[in-house]
Structures are given as structure tokens and as C-alpha cells.
Amino acid sequence: MTKGNYVDGFVLVIPKKNVAKYKKMATEGASIWKKFGALDYKECMGSDMKPSMGGARGLTFPKMTKAKPSETVWFSFVVYKDKKHRDAVNKKVMAYFSKKYSEKQMQDMPFDMKKMAYGGFSVVVS
């Protein structure tokens, strides 16, 4: 993975019936984010949602997101040089998508936006 000092992270809940639609959308997203300068872009679908942590306790992603058996949990991230670079890349990406898609199309996501968590993170250890 390319090193960067800033990451946008996302946790999403995708209905299993919408996985193909989401993968298509994410593939386009990866292409566009990288075109406009993102250093890396990953979309990761949960495959081991009840891992053993050697006795450590904590929430699993499905429990944290209140995912139903008919849903999958995804962890996604985009890597940037720094926060300023992130802001510049995202400005270009949003301009691109707002020209390409109508507001209705932008709102017609294959997942429930209310079950999405996201934020920007400064890399502390790499």
C-alpha cells in the first residue's frame, strides 16, 4: 500500500442483494478517486465477523452496525498525503460526480446512508 498521512475511513452495511450494485459503484469510485490524486482506495467486504482476539472483548462490526443476517459489513478507506490533499481531491471528486449524476441518482445508494459511519483520520503509526 502507498504510504500517506491521512485516511478517510468508512463502515457501511450493504444488503446482500445489493452487493453487485455496490461493487460496480465502488469500482467507479476507486477509479475516480485515484484519477484525482488519492494514493490508495480500498473497499473490503467482511468475511470473518466473529474473530477470536485471544480473550479480548469488544464489539464485532455486525453488532456495532446492527447488521441483519441479510446484510454485509464493509470497511473502506481512501489514503491521501495529508488533510489538505484529501480536501483538494474530494472537491474534484464531488464536482465530477455532481456533473455526471443527478441529485436523485446521487441519493439512490445501494445501502442505507443512516447505517454508514465515516471520518477523517491522521495516521499516527505506520
The verdict on residue 11 lying in a domain is yes
Percentage above 70 pLDDT, the chain: 90
For residue 79, with 0-12 CB atoms within 10 Å meaning exposed, 13-18 middle and 19 or more buried, which class applies? buried
Phi, psi values for residue 18, rounded to 5°: -105, 5
The pLDDT mean for the chain works out to 90
C-alpha cell at 102: 443527478
Q: Is 88 within a domain? A: yes
What is the pLDDT confidence band of residue 114, given thresholds at 50, 70 and 90?
Answer: confident
In a domain, 10, yes or no: yes
Distances (CA, A) of 48 to 40, 55, 60: 23, 16, 10
| CATH code, domain carrying 73 | 3.30.70.100
- The total number of structural domains that make up the chain: 1
pTM reported for the whole predicted model: 0.87
Whether 33 has a pLDDT exceeding 70, the answer reads yes
